[in-house]
Amino acid sequence: MCSQTEQGYRMVIDRRAIRKGLSVIATKDSDVAQALTRISYPEPRIRPVGFEALLSIIVSQQISTGAARSIMDRVRALLPEISAPATLALPDGALRKAGLSGRKVEYVTALARAIVAGQFDPVALAQQTDSQAIASICNLRGLGRWSAEVYLMFSLQRPDVFPAGDLALRRALQKLKGWDNRPNADDSRASVAHWMPWRTVGSLFLWHFYRGAPT
């Protein structure tokens, strides 16, 4: 469950870690324990770190997974090596033609400029606490708390993150608990506090449950 990187050793939320985390959560939450008897375990989500991952998060905001994948395929065709300098060197309009909205082009450009200017260092995030890393990312234009938490979960592989602003997660939590009303972000976060220190694994399970739970 650990791998060596340039920054040292980090936890990787692989299948073994997911099973371990959910076994711990199931001892604290009978609804999760019962659901695990009906559906399979979720698959890991391990993404690279750095500019490309943050660019991909910007692309994925407010659009479907399929649409985001298609746009990223076109971006990769433009940029065989996706980096901040290479992005800034693209001709005007190239990212718009790849499918990014005008606002998202502004966000990607601002991110690339911040990295090139030394105002933001994605590598340094690995050495920061969860709250510090979230704050660093949220300082960037177009990257809010949800984007930061997704980066921590999938790129930095932090095990205890719960992106309560995610609508699908809240719908899944409502379904899991059998609640009449969908919880807001604060109530959702409070309701899974006992899942610590495995809330990332719990989030993976909720997304999986939302898609595949029997009705």
Question: What are the catalytic residues?
Answer: 166
Could you give the CA distance from residue 104 to residue 11 in angstroms, rounded to a whole number? 31
Signed CA dihedral, 64, 68, 70, 71: sign only: positive
E strand or H helix at 54? helix 51-60
Which of the 8 DSSP states describes residue 166?
A: -
Q: By CB neighbour count within 10 A (0-12 exposed, 13-18 middle, 19+ buried), where does 173 fall?
A: buried
For residues 57 and 143, the answer to whether their CB atoms sit within 8 Å is yes
**Which conformational region is residue 106 in: left (phi greater than 0), alpha (psi within -120 to 50 degrees), or beta?**
alpha
Which residues, in sequence order, are CB contacts of 33 under 8 Å at separation 6+?
Answer: 26, 27
Let me know if 31 is exposed, middle or buried by CB neighbors in 10 A (0-12, 13-18, 19+): middle
